[in-house]
Amino acid sequence: MNLAVSIQSYWQPACGPVLRRLWPLVFMLLGNLMCTQSSGAADAVASEYKVKAALLYKLTHFVEWPESSPATTTKEFGICVLGENVFGDILEPLRGRRLKGMAIKVDYYLQSNEVSQTCNLLFISQSKRAFLKDILNSVAGTAVLTISDINDFASQGGMIEFRQEKDSIGFSINLEQARRTGLTIAAPLLQMANVIGHSGG
Amino acid sequence: MTKRFQLPVLLLALLAGAPLPVMGDDDLDQFLDLNMEELLSMKVTSVSKKQQRLDESAAAIFVITSEDIQRIGATSIAEALRIAPGVQVAKMDSNKWAVSSRGFNGQFANKLLVLMDGRSIYTPSFSGVYWESQHTVMQDIDRIEVIRGPGAALWGANAVNGVINIITKSAAQTQGSYAQITAGNEDEAMVDLRYGGRLTGSIAARGYLSFAERGSSYGTELGGGAGDDWKTMQAGFRIDGKLGTGNWTLQGDIYDNDKNQIIRNQFLDPFDPANNPPNPLSPYVDLNIPDRVDSEGHNLLGRWETNLSARSVLTTQLYLDHTERDEFLLGQKQNTVDLDIQHAYTGIAGHQIIWGAGYRSLDESYRGTPSGAIPDQDSELYNLFLQDEIALLENKLRLTLGAKLERTAYSETEFQPNIKMLWLPKPGTTLWASISRAARTPSTMERRGVITTAIIPTIPLQVTVNGNDGFESEDLTAFEVGYRVQPSEATSLDIALFSNQYSNVATYEIVDLISFPNPADPFGAPLLVPTKLNFDNKMDATSQGVELVFDWYVQKGWRLQSSYSWLSIDADKDSSSSDNFADAVAENSSPEHQVTIRSIYDFSERFSFDLWVHYYDELKVTSLSNTGSISDYTSLNLRLNWRPTEALEFSVVGHNLTDGRHPEFVGETYITHTEVERSIYGQVRLTF
């Protein structure tokens, strides 16, 4: 069978001839599982919210919270998700890790009026986009870093917006919004982002 | 492997021919070691994301979550379906359920596709589901997606009035030990044990054992126990791995169930000398005979999902399924081998394409009796489908075009197209409309079977309903519109309206009649009695309905969910039809009005109290062979749950608390009529 030969030619030499000679279906199912080496991260394909979860964690290293805020005075670093839990259990491994000398806690909220003052970071799910204005107003006075993948989140008054680039994830930062609540965002992060609302001060 | 597998193998080979280096769904920890630049340059699959948000899907969909299942205290999958709008669930006896969507309910309801982790669980002999044999640890069910209306363009055979998709949690989500013990007056004793662990860092597994002993219901005609108590034993496993180019799952179950039933009228062979001379009180019929349904089965399923690129996901699934069911009426054995491939592709801007193919081999064998018989059967089923969701206006307007070609042993190639439009006028508001065609392909019984429905003792002669080689698929053209809105952050409303037009619906046509003198009036007109009927397609039907769900998150810890369903069916027999029953059953076997109100309340982190009220309208006729109606009823169900520690939970659940007992449905002739009784049980759950 010509086709079988052409399939085999794609296979890496690391896979032994025994596997190759097997019946094509078994070959493909098992061959693909066992023979493909996991290569570097750059050309791999990852699940979207796993990358977003890692970005949430990494971003915090570039952000300073004002010392007086409730989020800083508690002993825990609050990572909070509002709306549909799009992360599933992806964020769970963060629990107990330490960030800025605090233990991370992860909380999920269905309603914006329940969101605790002790959240350092609030991820707003797309399920809440109909109520985005109200939600942003309700947290406007607190030093909480708002992040979302809702379209135009940054221009509507959110702080960090994850955007879908061609095949990867990019982000926009609304710097003015962050400064208004006393958050400081370090320059290296701004260089990686598309900064909007840059007042130059 | 036989030659018949070559086509799918070739398709698979074409798709899998150039595997790309793809990283599986690795642990978050691995990602946390990367720096920002590396994360931002990482290719992210856009395909899974394209799986529609539920509130933005152009279909009438309702999801029963794992929490819903716990909080209504459902001890079986069929009972959990009662909270879904537009779905009819009725208990025929302790171990039999009639379940349908958008009407046409019956003991042998045949217009639903039911999948358990991708494995079709309807029985080919009658194209329906033996719900009592479908089980797993209820705690391990992640969700049940209930899609009313035809799902024929994407899903497998039989997706006419709805698709029920039972999805279990992954092995990674069920790690550790879990034990659940239940004891009550109806659900007498149940034990569920599950253990989940990791085989390697990236391979998670679980295994479970489930035992249940359930009591009998009330026998209306017997004036006491209906003799329908039952025992089930089941074990199973699931292994999920992340290796090489994607995710894979291997899972299987094995069960052995013994279900008692009392046969109202067990027909005897009038030509067997052992039955002659007949008993003068019930000639050639034994009445109220205790019988046991012996059912067992096992299945094994493998699924492999691989990211060919960031915009291309290929899923391959193969399963083997064996079921056996032996009872007085019939002995059945079915072996199924099923291979499906599905490819989701988002590489063309503005298009989300899913296409795939399926192959199923069915090997059926039967043990006939004087009451019914089906010849042994080997058959194959093929399907091919394509769906393209086109973004006409980004984030505003989407058009979906889809079609499926399906061929079974008993049907021509069925073309089942659909067209759907979705409009998102503003965030939180969705309007959708769809037109689709679906075919309900013939069951083995309708083509080849024979069922005895009566015996005329004086001749003697059996009255039979016979399979018909000319029996065709039933056709449905469905028109649906829907509206979803979130008036506030705490409320949401989902309305679906439909109008279904069926043609070629099954009827029972008289083929032979005999006439004999009327014993009451020997000199008058003779009595004409049909002796042979054939399955045929001489009926059209239309149905209309509205389904409404209102969710209200009253305050932290308190949620109200209510639903209302209205359904109306009109059936019209062809003028050439001699059928006397089919239209009345179609019109009357499903409730016109159904209401559900649930209050889900947490007193505190440790205590919760749930209330669930359910109204089910009257059913005027529920079976071809029995007249007599079922009154409407309201059932009150409560659950109190206490969680003293993270690992330990106690609950007390009461179902049907307002009345001692009520009938829900009368099945076909052979089972005794029963009533569902008040049920109270206690449950202990331990996680360790």
Least confident window among A3-12, B402-411, B656-665: A3-12
pLDDT at position B52 is 60
pLDDT band, residue B46 (cuts 50/70/90): low
Tokens of B407: 């061929």
Which residues does chain A have within 8 Å of residue B310's beta carbon, measured at their own beta carbons?
A: 45, 167
pLDDT at position A146 is 96
- B81: nearest Cα among B439, B616, B485: B616
| Locus of tokens 């679980």 | B206
Residue A54 CB neighbours (<10 A): 24
Is residue A14 scored above 60 in pLDDT? Answer: no
- The DSSP H or E segment spanning B598 is strand B593-602
Beta bridge partners of B214: B230
Closest-approach residue (CA) in chain B for A134: B489
Per-residue model confidence as pLDDT tens digits over B26-36:
478 878 888 88
Give A182's DSSP letter: T
pLDDT at position A22 is 41
CA B594 vs. chain centroid, Å, equals 19
Q: Indicate left, alpha or beta for B628 from its phi (over 0: left) and psi (-120 to 50: alpha).
A: left
| Locus of tokens 């949620």 | B559
Query: What average pLDDT does range B96-106 have in this prediction?
Result: 96
Q: Are B671 and B262 in contact (CB under 8 A)?
A: yes
Helical spans, DSSP H, in B137-187: none
Q: Are A117 and A71 in contact (CB under 8 A)?
A: yes
Rg of chain A taking only CA atoms, in angstroms: 22
Per-residue model confidence as pLDDT tens digits over B345-378:
988 989 999 999 999 999 999 999 888 999 999 9
Q: Are B571 and B505 in contact (CB under 8 A)?
A: yes
Tokens of B509: 């046509």
Q: Are B610 and B599 in contact (CB under 8 A)?
A: yes
Which residues does chain A have within 8 Å of residue B10's beta carbon, measured at their own beta carbons?
A: 3
Q: Are B542 and B501 in contact (CB under 8 A)?
A: yes
pLDDT at position B148 is 95
Least confident window among A13-22, A92-101, A184-193, B574-583: A13-22
Sheet hosting strand A145-148, strand order edge to edge: A98-99, A102-109, A76-82, A119-124, A145-148, A160-164, A169-174, A194-196
Tell which wins on pLDDT, B37 or B100.
Answer: B100
Average pLDDT, chain B: 90
Per-residue model confidence as pLDDT tens digits over B581-602:
899 999 999 999 999 999 999 9
Rounded to a whole number, what is the distance in Å from the CA of A182 to chain B's nearest CA? 24
pLDDT at position B8 is 42
Per-residue model confidence as pLDDT tens digits over B426-449:
888 999 999 999 999 999 999 999
Helix (H, G, I), strand (E, B) or coil at B47: coil
Q: Which one of B9, B30, B396 would you mutate to disrupt binding with A, by most A Cβ within 10 Å of its Cβ?
A: B9
Put simply, whether A2 touches B (Cβ < 8 Å) is no
Is residue A81 scored above 90 in pLDDT? Answer: yes
CA B92 vs. chain centroid, Å, equals 16
Tell which wins on pLDDT, B154 or B566.
Answer: B566
Q: Are B407 and B400 in contact (CB under 8 A)?
A: no
Q: What is the 3-state secondary structure (H, E, C) of B139-193?
A: HHEEEEEEEECCCCCCCCCCCCCEEEEEEECCHHHHCEEEEEEEEECCCCEEEEE
The CA distance from B248 to B252, in Å, is 14
Residues 6+ apart with CB under 8 A from B129: B99, B109, B112, B114, B121, B122, B123
Tokens of A38: 């996991």
Q: Which amino acid would we find at residue A138? A: S
DSSP secondary structure string for all residues of B273-330: GGG-SPPSSSTTEEEEEEEEEEEEEEEEEEEEEEEEETTEEEEEEEEEEEEEEE-SS-
Q: Say what percent of chain B tops pLDDT 90.
A: 72
Q: Which amino acid would we find at residue B659? A: D
Is residue B519 scored above 90 in pLDDT? Answer: no
Tokens of A186: 């370090």
Q: What pTM, to 2 d.p., does this model score? A: 0.88
Beta bridge partners of B451: B372, B465
Task: Sketch the domain layout of chain A as residue ranges.
Answer: 2-37, 48-196
Per-residue model confidence as pLDDT tens digits over A139-168:
988 899 999 999 899 999 999 999 988 788
Which residues does chain A have within 8 Å of residue B55's beta carbon, measured at their own beta carbons?
A: 127
Is residue B4 scored above 90 in pLDDT? Answer: no
Q: Are B204 and B196 in contact (CB under 8 A)?
A: yes
Put simply, whether A5 touches B (Cβ < 8 Å) is no
Is residue B570 scored above 60 in pLDDT? Answer: yes
ipTM: 0.77
Rounded to a whole number, what is the distance in Å from the CA of B683 to chain A's nearest CA? 27
Rounded to a whole number, what is the distance in Å from the CA of B19 to chain A's nearest CA? 8
Query: What average pLDDT does range A63-78 have in this prediction?
Result: 83
pLDDT at position B529 is 85
Is residue A7 scored above 50 in pLDDT? Answer: no
The CA distance from B31 to A41, in Å, is 9
Tell which wins on pLDDT, A75 or B4.
Answer: A75
pLDDT at position B48 is 53
Q: Say what percent of chain A tops pLDDT 90.
A: 44
Interchain contact, A55 vs B39, CB within 8 Å? yes
Is residue B89 scored above 90 in pLDDT? Answer: yes
Which residues does chain B have within 8 Å of residue A46's beta carbon, measured at their own beta carbons?
A: 23, 25-26, 31, 42-45
Rounded to a whole number, what is the distance in Å from the CA of B246 to chain A's nearest CA? 8
Interchain contact, A38 vs B23, CB within 8 Å? yes
Tokens of B280: 């003068």
Residue B628 CB neighbours (<10 A): 13
Is residue B625 scored above 80 in pLDDT? Answer: no
Query: What average pLDDT does range B590-619 have in this prediction?
Result: 96
What's the residue count for chain B? 688
Backbone dihedral angles phi then psi of residue A135, each to the nearest 5 degrees: -65, -45
Q: Are B607 and B641 in contact (CB under 8 A)?
A: yes
The CA distance from B340 to B342, in Å, is 7
Backbone dihedral angles phi then psi of residue B259, each to the nearest 5 degrees: -120, 125
DSSP secondary structure string for all residues of B533-595: EEEEEEEEEEEEEEEEEEEEEEETTEEEEEEEEEEEEEEEE-TT---SSHHHHHHHSS-SEEE
Residue A136 CB neighbours (<10 A): 20
Helix (H, G, I), strand (E, B) or coil at A155: coil
Task: HSE, CB side, 13 Å, CA atoms: give it for residue A187.
Answer: 1
Interchain contact, B489 vs A6, CB within 8 Å? no
Per-residue model confidence as pLDDT tens digits over B521-559:
888 888 888 899 999 999 999 999 999 999 999 988 999
Q: Are B460 and B472 in contact (CB under 8 A)?
A: no
Tell which wins on pLDDT, B658 or B668.
Answer: B658
Is residue B420 scored above 80 in pLDDT? Answer: yes
pLDDT at position B309 is 84
Closest-approach residue (CA) in chain A for B317: A29
Closest-approach residue (CA) in chain A for B42: A42
The CA distance from B332 to B123, in Å, is 10
Give the domains, in start order, of chain B with CATH numbers. 3-410+428-687 (2.40.170.20)
Q: Give the CA-trace dihedral at B52, B53, B56, B58, to 10 degrees.
A: 40
Closest-approach residue (CA) in chain B for A62: B36
Q: Which amino acid would we find at residue B574? A: D
Which residues does chain B have within 8 Å of residue A162's beta carbon, measured at their own beta carbons?
A: none
Q: Are B208 and B194 in contact (CB under 8 A)?
A: yes
Q: Which of residues 98-127 of A touch B (CB under 8 A)?
A: 110-112, 114, 126-127
The CA distance from A64 to A190, in Å, is 14
Per-residue model confidence as pLDDT tens digits over A31-41:
444 333 333 33
Cα torsion B616, B63, B78, B602: sign: negative
Which residues does chain B have within 8 Å of residue A99's beta carbon, measured at their own beta carbons?
A: none
pLDDT at position A39 is 36
The CA distance from B587 to B63, in Å, is 28
Give B50's DSSP letter: T
pLDDT at position B10 is 37
Is residue B157 scored above 70 in pLDDT? Answer: yes
Residues 6+ apart with CB under 8 A from B263: B286, B288, B289, B290, B291, B328, B329, B670, B671, B672
Beta bridge partners of A172: A161, A194
Q: Are B98 and B130 in contact (CB under 8 A)?
A: no
Task: Give whichever of A188-197, B345-354, B500-509 has the largest mean pLDDT.
Answer: B500-509
| Locus of tokens 């799952």 | B249
pLDDT at position B201 is 82
Q: Which of residues 23-82 of A touch B (CB under 8 A)?
A: 23-25, 28-29, 32-39, 41-48, 50-51, 53-55, 57-59
CATH architecture of A48-196: 3-Layer(aba) Sandwich (3.40)
**Pairing between strand B43-44 and B661-662?**
unpaired
